[in-house]
């Protein structure tokens, strides 16, 4: 008789819930095993397969990687044999990006940032993302980057700053940060909106409006079906709006906004208390700035 423990018991939802819990704890082997149990019971087609692939990609990378502490609040996970002579560059560039974001947003980290470097692009080929992805885990803030985000080093600089900025936003603002703000801060930390992106955004907004509310929806649908040209405009818009706030009000106000959101204030009140104007007013002024640029 086989041991009861080795058999998938109960319904598949239970195993997916277990997988989710282990994944949040970054216990990838257990997460993968729970997902296998769910699969054995038959899970319906859909997003769950992406979750399964994500777990497998992270677990595969963990098995072949070296987990190394770079400084008090920064770890990297990468396979030194895969990266060879580039490995040292990888660690050093990630550290610089981490320090840049930490200083710019004056972050006091409550837990370390772990940056995981996937050795193969195919591991997250199913995923649409600007660079890689950020996911809050219990032991750390986890950032995962595919090879396309790593070469050349200028790309890695942008990618690492962008994804580590998401970790910083999460550290400062918790779970209630709207997507447009999260991406806007990340694009700003990455180096801001380029002239080319600005030109493309200017053209795109003649055809469709880009309100802040719409932006959050655009980012979410990009992960599933949206084309990347439209997604690029959404990033440019979010980055430009947040960049304009930072220029006008400074980092202190942005930090106050994130702190207020974390404390449970709604967006409207948190924004007004931090910037002294309503979000609607700030957005109206930002849109008006683009209208004026259009008239010139
Ligand atoms: Zn992002």
b/e per residue 209-246 (b: at least 16 CB within 10 A): ebebeebbebbeebeeebeeeebbbbbbbbbbbbbbbb
Give the pLDDT confidence score for residue 6 in this predicted structure.
52
Taking the centre of ligand 1 as the mean of its atom positions, its distance from the CA of residue 140, in whole angstroms, is 18
pTM: 0.92
For 65-172, which CATH class?
Answer: alpha beta
β-strand pairing of 113-117 with 74-78: parallel
- Whether the predicted pLDDT of 145 surpasses 90: yes
Q: 127 C-alpha to center of ligand 1: Å? A: 13
Determine the distance separating the centroid of ligand 1 and the alpha carbon of 197, expressed in angstroms.
16
CA atoms in the 13 A half-sphere facing the CB of 134: 22
Pick the residue with more confidence: 26 or 130? 26
Q: Give the residue ranges of DSSP H helices in the chain.
A: 12-24, 28-41, 47-64, 80-83, 87-104, 153-173, 179-190, 195-207, 212-222, 228-249, 251-262, 267-275, 279-295
Query: Is residue 263 exposed (0-12), middle (13-18) or buried (19+ Cβ within 10 Å)?
Result: exposed
Ligand 1 centroid – CA 191 distance (Å): 13
The pLDDT-based confidence of 2 (bands split at 50, 70, 90) is: very low
Could you tell me if 186 and 169 are in contact, meaning their C-beta atoms sit under 8 angstroms apart? yes
- At residue 77, does pLDDT exceed 70? yes
Residue 88 has pLDDT above 50, yes or no: yes
Q: How remote is the CA of residue 69 from the centroid of ligand 1, in Å?
A: 24
For the chain, the domains span 4-53, 65-172, 179-295
Q: How far is the CA of 115 from the centre of ligand 1 (A)?
A: 15
Q: Give distance in angstroms: CA of 162 to centre of ligand 1.
A: 6
Q: What is the pLDDT of residue 262?
A: 97
For ligand 1, the distance from its centroid to the CA atom of residue 105, given in whole angstroms, is: 16
The predicted pLDDT at position 226 comes to 62
Model pLDDT for residues 122-143, shown as the tens digit of each residue: 988 878 888 999 999 999 999 9
Task: State in Å: Cα 287 to ligand 1 middle.
Answer: 22
129 CA from centroid of ligand 1 (Å) = 7
Distance, CA 28 to ligand 1 centroid (Å)? 23
DSSP β-bridge partners for residue 114: 75, 142
Average pLDDT, the chain: 92
Cβ atoms of 190 and 241 within 8 Å: the answer is no
Average pLDDT over residues 98-120: 97
Contact 153, 97 (CB under 8 A): no
In percent, the amount of the chain with pLDDT more than 90 equals 79
Query: What's the pLDDT band for 295 if we cut at 50, 70, 90?
Result: confident
Radius of gyration of the chain measured on its C-alpha atoms: 21
pLDDT score recorded for residue 4:
46
């Amino acid at each position: 008789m086989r041991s009861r423990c080795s058999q998938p018991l109960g319904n598949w939802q239970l195993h997916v819930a277990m997988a989710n819990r282990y994944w949040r704890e970054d216990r990838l082997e257990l997460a993968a095993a729970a997902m296998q149990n769910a699969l054995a019971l038959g899970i319906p087609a859909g997003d769950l397969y992406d979750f399964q692939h994500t777990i497998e990609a992270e677990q595969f990378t963990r098995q072949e990687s070296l987990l190394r502490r770079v400084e008090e609040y920064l770890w990297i996970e990468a396979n030194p044999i895969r990266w060879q002579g580039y490995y040292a560059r990888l660690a050093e560039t990630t550290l610089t990006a981490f320090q840049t974001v930490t200083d710019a947003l004056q972050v006091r980290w409550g837990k370390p940032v772990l940056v995981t470097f996937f050795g193969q692009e195919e591991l997250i080929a199913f995923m649409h993302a600007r660079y890689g992805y950020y996911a809050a885990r219990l032991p750390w803030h986890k950032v995962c980057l595919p090879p396309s985000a790593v070469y050349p080093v200028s790309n890695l600089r942008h990618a690492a700053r962008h994804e580590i900025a998401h970790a910083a936003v999460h550290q400062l603002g918790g779970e209630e940060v709207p997507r447009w703000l999260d991406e806007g801060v990340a694009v700003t930390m990455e180096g801001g909106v380029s002239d080319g992106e600005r030109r493309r955004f200017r053209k795109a907004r003649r055809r469709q409006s880009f309100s802040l509310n719409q932006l959050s929806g655009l980012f979410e649908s990009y992960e599933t079906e949206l084309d990347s040209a439209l997604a690029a405009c959404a990033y440019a818009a979010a980055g430009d709006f947040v960049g304009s706030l930072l220029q006008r009000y400074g980092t202190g106000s942005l930090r106050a906004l994130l702190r207020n959101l974390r404390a449970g204030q709604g967006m409207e009140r948190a924004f007004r208390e931090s910037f002294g104007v309503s979000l609607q007013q700030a957005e109206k002024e930002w849109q008006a700035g683009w209208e004026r640029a259009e008239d010139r």
